[in-house]
Amino acid sequence: MSIDTERLAGGKGAFVPSPNHNASALMTSSADPAALSPAERHIVDTLIAERGRQVMASPWWPLIRPLAHRILRYRDAVDMADAIATMSADDVFAHLSALLSLDVTTLGLERVPERGPVVLVSNHPTGIADGVVLYDAIKNRRRDLSIFANRDAIRINPRLAEMIVPVEWRAEFKTREKTKETLRNAGRAFAQERAVVLFPSGRLAYWHEGKLTERPWMTSALALARKHRVPIIPMHMGGRNSGLFYFLARVSTELRDMTVFNELLNKKSARFRVHFGKPIAPEALDGDAAEQTDRLRVHCAETLGRDPDAEFRP
């Protein structure tokens, strides 16, 4: 995510330094974030470092860091993080929508109920931009979104918890308590009759044999729909990342993951298609959870891309 318009410098939501955005730690490409304590580092430095531990431990890193920062749009990422640091969640998405000015074409939006609890599931082609695409596609019909997304989002701005159900992606930091917290947040979202959004793969699609291939889905979306007895709206999202991303994915997963901000910021004016499929009643998804989840994955990632009116076949 997921993750429109005003709140620019000097207005409501303008950047005010916070513990996560130490004003003295706004780094330039020539500065060395590693020389700072963790508390002094900018959150962008921290997130990039967590994704590139081995790369940044290389003796070559100090030499290539200035070039890498330009390629990774480091300064733009810092400016973006500072701009959204204290905004409300809705203002963050509005700001990113205005910043990227995406060209989003939607089909079947009328299939999304205007109110009441619902689960929306989608393939995951690009990363953070997918959350902004979803926001643009659905904002005129639903604004009460609860998007399952990487916990790192609320490290940039804790107020994003107003619209994001944080999920821990780092295996070494997953705990039973964090899992319980995610389930509690999901329960509150359903109790408030919100539109709950999941990208069940949890990871980005990869390039294979000349096309994007969706990764296997976790059964969490199906489990939530069954537990809370709410319909599922299947979605297909058409979009892709840069050639650099797919090249680096072949070279190093760390280098690929370090492009996280670049692959958001390089989407300015990019075209996306969002197809909202026909609602699926929870009882239509009875049976083996893994098998039904895989059918749902194929329906969203492939079938709806070809035929937005296709029926889901359990």
Residues in the chain, total: 314
Cα–Cα distance measured from residue 21 to residue 44, given in angstroms and rounded to the nearest whole number: 9
The upper half-sphere exposure of residue 208, i.e. CA atoms within 13 Å in the direction of its Cβ, equals: 7
pLDDT score at 14: 33
Are 89 and 159 in contact, with CB atoms under 8 Å apart?
A: yes
User: Which residues contact residue 47 at a Cβ distance below 8 angstroms, ignoring those fewer than 6 apart?
Assistant: 152, 155, 156, 260
**Which residues does 23 contact at the CB level (< 8 Å), separation at least 6?**
17
Query: Could you report the average pLDDT of every consecutive run of 10 residues in the chain (314 residues)?
Result: 34 37 42 61 93 94 93 96 98 98 98 98 97 98 96 96 90 85 94 98 92 95 96 98 95 94 97 98 94 98 97 90
* pLDDT for residue 130: 98
Given the candidates 3.30.750.24, 3.40.50.1220, 3.40.1130.10, 3.40.350.10, the CATH classification of the domain at 101-241+268-306 is 3.40.1130.10
Pairing of strands 145-150, 103-107: unpaired
SS3 of 58-98: CCCHHHHHHHHHHHCCHHHHHHHHHHHCCCCHHHHHHHHHH
d(CA 74, CA 124): 24
**E strands, 171-277, where?**
195-198, 206-208, 211-213, 232-238, 271-276
| Angle (CA) 150 74 157, round 5° | 40
Which pLDDT score is estimated for 74?
A: 96
Domain range summary for the chain, segments of one domain joined by +: 101-241+268-306
Global pTM value: 0.85
**Is 226 within 8 Å of 285 (Cβ atoms)?**
yes
Contact criterion met (CB below 8 Å) for 133 and 102? yes
